[in-house]
Amino acid sequence: MPLPEATLTREQTKIEACQEAIGYRFQRPELLRAALTHTSGANTRAASNERLEFLGDSVLGLVTCKLLFKRFPDYDEGDLTKVKSVVVSRKTCAIFSRSLGLGGFMFLGKGVGAFGEIPSNMHADVFEALVAAIFLDGGWEEAKHFILRFIEPVVERVAEESVGSNSKSHFQHVIQRQWGGTPRYLVLDEQGPDHDKCFKMAAEVEGHRFPAAWGRTKKEAEAKAALNALAEIEGTELPYPCD
């Protein structure tokens, strides 16, 4: 339960505000204090968030890997690695940090961040340290719940953009080399309400329609249709059969 504002010190006020912003209340607030402490604001290096950052990076990576492994059963190691590298990148962690306003809660040395925006690397560090602090305070389930709030939407977008675009590019290259044409993608069916539609799409080249695939977005359906088309050309099992 939050303390009355009149009884809080400046440090406690910052800790309280941070907990409200992140949607998690610590049983051991000292862990949050450590996560928010940059080396410039610590009495010793060991009192900064560097050790927590090390742990948080691993927790974040494990949650992400488990999600990707379950969400994309047909992706090979290379595809999974591509998506993971973006989802847990320093750039992405900095975006998460800024969305929570963590920079405003950090304990910094004099002059650090006083003359402009806090650097992206510091934002990434504090987000990873926060993940570790939640893990140590509330355990695996609390840390997983916190992480998934941020990474699930990113995973879907990155998968479409990286793996999806690669499969379509590869398919187009094969078609141009073997057929001399350009594939087009047809919407064969749509199901579900407007806010949660699924699309059935197929690739077609010079009148030949390849096996269709379902996807939760048109981009995802196109990528899966391209993989189905490649499987048909190669004479292998369809990765996304839908009929």
User: Is residue 57 annotated as a catalytic residue, yes or no?
Assistant: yes
Q: H helices within the chain, ranges in order?
A: 10-22, 29-35, 50-71, 77-87, 90-100, 120-138, 140-159, 165-178, 218-234
Question: Tokens 């800024």, residue?
Answer: 98
> Encoding tokens for residue 92?
């992405």
Q: Tell me the two tokens of residue 180.
A: 């001399």
Q: Is 160 a catalytic residue?
A: no
Burial class (CB in 10 A: 0-12, 13-18, 19+), 36: buried
- The catalytically annotated residue of 53, 57, 79, 160 is 57
Catalytic pick among 53, 79, 125, 128: 128
Q: Residues with catalytic annotation?
A: 57, 128
